[in-house]
Chains A and B, each alone.
Chain A
Amino acid sequence: MGADEDPGPLVRMYVVTGGRARPIGEAFDVVAVVTTLGMPYEQAGLSPEHLTVLRMCVRPATVADIGVYLRLPLNIIRVLLSDLRREGLVSIDRPAVSAAAMNERIYQEVLNGLRAL
Protein backbone atom coordinates (compact mmCIF):
# COMPACT_ATOMS: atom_id res chain seq x y z
CA MET A 1 0.00 0.00 0.00
CA GLY A 2 2.07 2.91 -1.26
CA ALA A 3 1.96 6.21 0.51
CA ASP A 4 2.85 7.72 -2.84
CA GLU A 5 -0.14 6.18 -4.53
CA ASP A 6 -1.97 9.15 -6.01
CA PRO A 7 -5.02 9.99 -3.94
CA GLY A 8 -5.46 13.24 -5.89
CA PRO A 9 -8.66 12.87 -7.91
CA LEU A 10 -10.70 11.43 -5.09
CA VAL A 11 -9.54 14.02 -2.65
CA ARG A 12 -10.33 16.80 -5.09
CA MET A 13 -13.78 15.39 -5.69
CA TYR A 14 -14.60 15.47 -2.03
CA VAL A 15 -13.32 19.01 -1.75
CA VAL A 16 -16.07 19.91 -4.22
CA THR A 17 -18.67 18.63 -1.78
CA GLY A 18 -16.95 19.86 1.34
CA GLY A 19 -16.14 16.29 2.29
CA ARG A 20 -19.70 15.09 2.12
CA ALA A 21 -20.36 11.73 0.48
CA ARG A 22 -24.15 11.61 0.72
CA PRO A 23 -26.85 13.83 -0.68
CA ILE A 24 -29.43 15.32 1.64
CA GLY A 25 -33.15 14.79 1.28
CA GLU A 26 -35.13 12.46 -0.91
CA ALA A 27 -33.08 10.18 -3.17
CA PHE A 28 -33.23 10.73 -6.89
CA ASP A 29 -32.55 8.61 -9.90
CA VAL A 30 -29.56 8.77 -12.22
CA VAL A 31 -31.90 9.77 -15.05
CA ALA A 32 -34.04 12.14 -12.98
CA VAL A 33 -34.52 15.38 -14.90
CA VAL A 34 -33.07 18.50 -13.28
CA THR A 35 -34.42 21.95 -14.10
CA THR A 36 -33.07 25.27 -12.89
CA LEU A 37 -35.76 27.27 -11.15
CA GLY A 38 -33.76 30.43 -10.63
CA MET A 39 -30.34 31.92 -10.12
CA PRO A 40 -29.42 32.98 -6.60
CA TYR A 41 -29.33 36.67 -5.71
CA GLU A 42 -26.00 36.20 -4.11
CA GLN A 43 -23.60 33.43 -4.96
CA ALA A 44 -21.87 33.16 -1.63
CA GLY A 45 -21.83 29.59 -0.44
CA LEU A 46 -22.15 28.17 -3.92
CA SER A 47 -19.17 26.58 -5.59
CA PRO A 48 -18.24 27.04 -9.24
CA GLU A 49 -19.66 23.56 -9.81
CA HIS A 50 -23.01 24.58 -8.31
CA LEU A 51 -23.14 27.57 -10.62
CA THR A 52 -22.20 25.47 -13.62
CA VAL A 53 -25.09 23.13 -12.86
CA LEU A 54 -27.50 26.06 -12.59
CA ARG A 55 -26.41 27.48 -15.91
CA MET A 56 -26.55 24.08 -17.56
CA CYS A 57 -30.00 23.11 -16.31
CA VAL A 58 -31.78 26.14 -17.66
CA ARG A 59 -32.44 23.53 -20.31
CA PRO A 60 -33.57 20.46 -18.36
CA ALA A 61 -30.89 17.78 -18.16
CA THR A 62 -30.55 14.45 -16.43
CA VAL A 63 -28.31 13.70 -13.47
CA ALA A 64 -26.21 11.49 -15.74
CA ASP A 65 -25.73 14.32 -18.27
CA ILE A 66 -24.61 16.67 -15.54
CA GLY A 67 -22.05 14.11 -14.44
CA VAL A 68 -20.69 13.93 -17.95
CA TYR A 69 -20.56 17.69 -18.32
CA LEU A 70 -18.79 18.26 -15.02
CA ARG A 71 -16.70 15.11 -15.33
CA LEU A 72 -17.48 14.15 -11.79
CA PRO A 73 -18.80 10.91 -10.31
CA LEU A 74 -22.52 10.64 -9.86
CA ASN A 75 -22.33 10.53 -6.08
CA ILE A 76 -20.66 13.90 -6.09
CA ILE A 77 -23.21 15.28 -8.53
CA ARG A 78 -25.97 14.09 -6.26
CA VAL A 79 -24.53 15.97 -3.31
CA LEU A 80 -24.29 19.17 -5.35
CA LEU A 81 -27.83 18.77 -6.66
CA SER A 82 -29.24 18.13 -3.23
CA ASP A 83 -27.67 21.42 -2.08
CA LEU A 84 -29.31 23.28 -4.94
CA ARG A 85 -32.63 21.61 -4.30
CA ARG A 86 -32.52 22.56 -0.64
CA GLU A 87 -31.99 26.17 -1.69
CA GLY A 88 -34.94 25.94 -4.04
CA LEU A 89 -32.78 26.62 -7.08
CA VAL A 90 -33.52 23.42 -8.99
CA SER A 91 -36.34 20.95 -9.30
CA ILE A 92 -35.52 17.26 -9.58
CA ASP A 93 -38.12 14.92 -10.99
CA ARG A 94 -39.29 12.25 -8.64
CA PRO A 95 -37.16 9.14 -8.96
CA ALA A 96 -37.75 5.96 -10.83
CA VAL A 97 -40.66 6.91 -12.98
CA SER A 98 -39.57 5.69 -16.35
CA ALA A 99 -41.08 2.21 -16.43
CA ALA A 100 -44.27 3.31 -14.71
CA ALA A 101 -44.62 6.33 -16.99
CA MET A 102 -44.63 4.22 -20.13
CA ASN A 103 -47.88 3.98 -21.99
CA GLU A 104 -48.83 2.74 -25.42
CA ARG A 105 -48.28 6.12 -27.03
CA ILE A 106 -44.76 6.44 -25.64
CA TYR A 107 -43.89 2.87 -26.56
CA GLN A 108 -44.94 3.64 -30.10
CA GLU A 109 -42.95 6.86 -30.09
CA VAL A 110 -39.86 5.03 -28.85
CA LEU A 111 -40.21 2.29 -31.48
CA ASN A 112 -40.67 4.83 -34.27
CA GLY A 113 -37.76 6.90 -32.98
CA LEU A 114 -35.44 3.90 -32.87
CA ARG A 115 -36.39 2.83 -36.37
CA ALA A 116 -35.66 6.33 -37.64
CA LEU A 117 -32.17 6.50 -36.14
Chain B
Amino acid sequence: MDYARSETLAIKILVAGGFGVGKTTMVSAVSEIQPLHTEELLSDRSAAVDDTTGVEQKTTTTVALDFGRITLREGLWIYLFGTPGQDRFWFMWDELSIGALGAVVIADTRRLGEAFAAVDYFEQRKIPFVVTVNCFDGARRHSPEAVRRALALPAHVPVVLSDVRDRESVKEILLTLVRHAREHAPSLTAMP
Protein backbone atom coordinates (compact mmCIF):
# COMPACT_ATOMS: atom_id res chain seq x y z
CA MET B 1 0.00 0.00 0.00
CA ASP B 2 2.92 2.29 0.64
CA TYR B 3 4.71 1.62 -2.61
CA ALA B 4 3.99 5.00 -4.17
CA ARG B 5 4.67 7.11 -1.14
CA SER B 6 8.29 8.03 -1.72
CA GLU B 7 7.47 8.91 -5.30
CA THR B 8 4.48 11.08 -4.49
CA LEU B 9 5.33 14.74 -4.26
CA ALA B 10 3.30 17.91 -4.48
CA ILE B 11 5.46 20.94 -5.10
CA LYS B 12 4.26 24.36 -4.02
CA ILE B 13 5.11 27.49 -5.94
CA LEU B 14 3.75 30.83 -4.77
CA VAL B 15 2.74 33.61 -7.11
CA ALA B 16 2.92 37.00 -5.44
CA GLY B 17 1.99 40.46 -6.54
CA GLY B 18 -0.53 43.17 -5.98
CA PHE B 19 -4.17 43.16 -6.95
CA GLY B 20 -4.74 42.97 -10.69
CA VAL B 21 -1.11 42.39 -11.54
CA GLY B 22 -1.78 39.11 -13.33
CA LYS B 23 -1.52 36.35 -10.72
CA THR B 24 -4.69 34.56 -11.73
CA THR B 25 -3.86 35.03 -15.40
CA MET B 26 -0.48 33.45 -14.91
CA VAL B 27 -1.90 30.50 -13.01
CA SER B 28 -4.55 29.89 -15.64
CA ALA B 29 -1.99 30.01 -18.47
CA VAL B 30 -0.42 26.75 -17.31
CA SER B 31 -2.93 25.11 -15.00
CA GLU B 32 -4.68 21.98 -16.22
CA ILE B 33 -7.67 22.87 -14.08
CA GLN B 34 -9.60 26.10 -14.08
CA PRO B 35 -7.80 28.39 -11.67
CA LEU B 36 -9.64 27.67 -8.52
CA HIS B 37 -10.96 30.28 -6.46
CA THR B 38 -11.49 28.99 -3.01
CA GLU B 39 -12.15 31.00 0.03
CA GLU B 40 -10.16 30.54 3.12
CA LEU B 41 -12.16 31.10 6.23
CA LEU B 42 -10.44 33.12 8.83
CA SER B 43 -11.11 32.61 12.46
CA ASP B 44 -9.90 34.76 15.32
CA ARG B 45 -6.75 35.74 13.47
CA SER B 46 -8.84 38.13 11.42
CA ALA B 47 -10.41 39.90 14.33
CA ALA B 48 -7.70 42.52 14.72
CA VAL B 49 -7.47 43.14 11.00
CA ASP B 50 -11.05 43.89 10.30
CA ASP B 51 -11.89 45.73 13.44
CA THR B 52 -13.17 48.90 11.88
CA THR B 53 -16.78 48.91 12.88
CA GLY B 54 -16.77 47.75 16.45
CA VAL B 55 -19.22 45.08 15.44
CA GLU B 56 -18.43 41.78 16.99
CA GLN B 57 -16.80 39.67 14.33
CA LYS B 58 -14.82 36.55 14.72
CA THR B 59 -15.31 33.96 12.09
CA THR B 60 -16.83 35.57 9.06
CA THR B 61 -13.97 37.06 7.10
CA THR B 62 -13.00 35.23 3.96
CA VAL B 63 -10.10 35.70 1.63
CA ALA B 64 -9.73 34.38 -1.86
CA LEU B 65 -7.04 31.88 -2.67
CA ASP B 66 -6.37 31.09 -6.31
CA PHE B 67 -4.57 28.00 -7.25
CA GLY B 68 -3.81 25.82 -10.22
CA ARG B 69 -2.22 22.47 -10.80
CA ILE B 70 0.23 21.00 -13.27
CA THR B 71 0.61 17.21 -13.33
CA LEU B 72 4.11 16.28 -14.41
CA ARG B 73 3.44 12.59 -13.96
CA GLU B 74 1.29 10.41 -11.76
CA GLY B 75 2.33 11.39 -8.25
CA LEU B 76 4.32 14.51 -9.15
CA TRP B 77 2.41 17.76 -9.19
CA ILE B 78 3.16 21.45 -9.14
CA TYR B 79 0.63 23.61 -7.35
CA LEU B 80 0.64 27.31 -8.04
CA PHE B 81 -0.85 29.51 -5.36
CA GLY B 82 -1.67 33.11 -5.94
CA THR B 83 -2.70 35.13 -2.94
CA PRO B 84 -3.06 38.83 -2.41
CA GLY B 85 0.09 40.73 -1.67
CA GLN B 86 -1.32 43.21 0.78
CA ASP B 87 0.00 43.13 4.31
CA ARG B 88 -3.22 41.95 5.80
CA PHE B 89 -3.04 38.66 3.94
CA TRP B 90 0.50 37.74 4.84
CA PHE B 91 -0.50 35.26 7.46
CA MET B 92 -1.62 33.18 4.50
CA TRP B 93 1.83 33.38 3.00
CA ASP B 94 3.23 32.21 6.31
CA GLU B 95 1.35 28.99 5.96
CA LEU B 96 1.67 28.52 2.23
CA SER B 97 5.37 29.25 2.15
CA ILE B 98 6.29 26.41 4.49
CA GLY B 99 7.94 23.82 2.31
CA ALA B 100 7.44 25.86 -0.86
CA LEU B 101 9.93 25.27 -3.63
CA GLY B 102 9.97 28.96 -4.45
CA ALA B 103 8.02 32.00 -5.50
CA VAL B 104 7.34 34.19 -8.50
CA VAL B 105 6.94 37.89 -7.81
CA ILE B 106 5.00 39.62 -10.57
CA ALA B 107 6.04 43.24 -10.66
CA ASP B 108 3.96 46.02 -12.07
CA THR B 109 6.37 48.83 -12.82
CA ARG B 110 3.73 51.41 -11.99
CA ARG B 111 3.32 49.96 -8.52
CA LEU B 112 6.67 48.62 -7.45
CA GLY B 113 5.82 49.02 -3.79
CA GLU B 114 3.77 45.85 -3.74
CA ALA B 115 6.62 43.92 -5.33
CA PHE B 116 8.99 45.39 -2.76
CA ALA B 117 6.98 43.92 0.06
CA ALA B 118 6.91 40.47 -1.53
CA VAL B 119 10.63 40.57 -2.27
CA ASP B 120 11.34 41.46 1.35
CA TYR B 121 9.13 38.68 2.55
CA PHE B 122 10.81 35.95 0.52
CA GLU B 123 14.31 37.24 1.17
CA GLN B 124 13.77 37.19 4.91
CA ARG B 125 12.50 33.62 4.81
CA LYS B 126 15.20 32.48 2.41
CA ILE B 127 12.64 31.26 -0.09
CA PRO B 128 14.08 31.19 -3.60
CA PHE B 129 12.23 33.59 -5.88
CA VAL B 130 12.32 35.16 -9.31
CA VAL B 131 10.86 38.50 -10.34
CA THR B 132 8.92 38.81 -13.54
CA VAL B 133 7.76 41.98 -15.23
CA ASN B 134 4.50 41.48 -17.02
CA CYS B 135 4.85 43.18 -20.42
CA PHE B 136 1.26 42.98 -21.57
CA ASP B 137 0.14 44.95 -24.60
CA GLY B 138 0.57 48.64 -24.24
CA ALA B 139 2.71 48.38 -21.15
CA ARG B 140 5.98 50.18 -21.26
CA ARG B 141 8.90 47.88 -21.67
CA HIS B 142 11.39 47.99 -18.91
CA SER B 143 14.81 46.52 -18.95
CA PRO B 144 15.41 43.79 -16.41
CA GLU B 145 18.33 45.78 -15.07
CA ALA B 146 16.16 48.82 -14.38
CA VAL B 147 13.73 46.66 -12.44
CA ARG B 148 16.58 45.02 -10.58
CA ARG B 149 17.89 48.40 -9.52
CA ALA B 150 14.48 49.73 -8.60
CA LEU B 151 13.81 46.73 -6.38
CA ALA B 152 17.37 46.57 -5.07
CA LEU B 153 17.54 42.90 -5.99
CA PRO B 154 20.67 40.89 -5.28
CA ALA B 155 22.58 39.87 -8.39
CA HIS B 156 21.64 36.21 -8.14
CA VAL B 157 17.88 36.81 -8.27
CA PRO B 158 16.64 36.26 -11.84
CA VAL B 159 14.50 38.95 -13.48
CA VAL B 160 12.39 37.76 -16.40
CA LEU B 161 10.31 39.82 -18.81
CA SER B 162 7.12 37.96 -19.60
CA ASP B 163 3.60 37.93 -20.87
CA VAL B 164 1.74 36.03 -18.19
CA ARG B 165 -1.14 35.27 -20.56
CA ASP B 166 1.20 33.21 -22.68
CA ARG B 167 1.77 29.59 -21.75
CA GLU B 168 5.30 29.43 -23.14
CA SER B 169 6.22 32.60 -21.34
CA VAL B 170 4.92 31.25 -18.04
CA LYS B 171 6.72 27.95 -18.60
CA GLU B 172 9.92 29.95 -19.00
CA ILE B 173 9.29 31.77 -15.71
CA LEU B 174 8.76 28.46 -13.93
CA LEU B 175 11.81 26.86 -15.51
CA THR B 176 13.89 29.84 -14.41
CA LEU B 177 12.52 29.53 -10.87
CA VAL B 178 13.15 25.78 -10.63
CA ARG B 179 16.72 26.17 -11.91
CA HIS B 180 17.26 29.02 -9.46
CA ALA B 181 15.82 27.00 -6.58
CA ARG B 182 18.04 24.06 -7.44
CA GLU B 183 21.07 26.29 -7.09
CA HIS B 184 19.96 28.24 -4.05
CA ALA B 185 17.63 26.07 -2.00
CA PRO B 186 18.74 26.13 1.64
CA SER B 187 17.59 22.54 2.09
CA LEU B 188 20.16 21.24 -0.36
CA THR B 189 23.07 22.84 1.40
CA ALA B 190 21.69 21.60 4.70
CA MET B 191 21.51 18.05 3.42
CA PRO B 192 24.74 17.08 1.68
1/0 contact string of A81-115 vs chain B (CB within 8 Å): 00000000000010111111111101101110111
> Is the CB of A44 closer than 8 A to any CB of chain B?
no
> Is the CB of A56 closer than 8 A to any CB of chain B?
no
Q: Which residue of A lies closest to B172 (CB)?
A: A114
Q: Which residue of B lies closest to A117 (CB)?
A: B171
Please state if A99 and B185 are interface contacts (CB–CB under 8 Å).
Answer: yes
Please state if B4 and A64 are interface contacts (CB–CB under 8 Å).
Answer: no
> Is the CB of A55 closer than 8 A to any CB of chain B?
no
Interface size range of chain B in the complex: 35 or more
Given contacts A1-B53, A7-B60, A68-B38, contact A98 B43 (CB under 8 A): no
Please state if B174 and A114 are interface contacts (CB–CB under 8 Å).
Answer: yes
Interface size range of chain A in the complex: 35 or more
In the assembled complex, which residues on chain B have CB atoms less than 8 Å from the CB atom of A114? 70, 72, 78, 171, 174-175, 178
Please state if B30 and A117 are interface contacts (CB–CB under 8 Å).
Answer: yes
Residues of chain A from 35 to 55 with CB closer than 8 A to chain B in the complex: 37
> Is the CB of A21 closer than 8 A to any CB of chain B?
yes
Q: How far is the CB of B176 from chain A (nearest CB, A)?
A: 10
In the assembled complex, which residues on chain A have CB atoms less than 8 Å from the CB atom of B96? 30
Residues of chain A from 55 to 77 with CB closer than 8 A to chain B in the complex: 60, 62, 64-65, 67-68, 73-76
User: Considering the complex of A and B, which 6 residue pairs feature the smallest CB-CB distances, nearest first?
Assistant: A113-B72, A96-B99, A31-B10, A96-B98, A107-B182, A98-B99
CA distance A33 to B187 in the complex (A): 21
Please state if B185 and A102 are interface contacts (CB–CB under 8 Å).
Answer: yes
CA distance A102 to B78 in the complex (A): 13
Please state if A1 and B77 are interface contacts (CB–CB under 8 Å).
Answer: no
CA distance A22 to B1 in the complex (A): 29
1/0 contact string of B166-181 vs chain A (CB within 8 Å): 0100010011001101
Q: Which of A7, A64, A74, A104 contacts B79 (CB 8 A)?
A: A64
Please state if B41 and A21 are interface contacts (CB–CB under 8 Å).
Answer: yes
Q: How far is the CB of A19 from chain B (nearest CB, A)?
A: 10
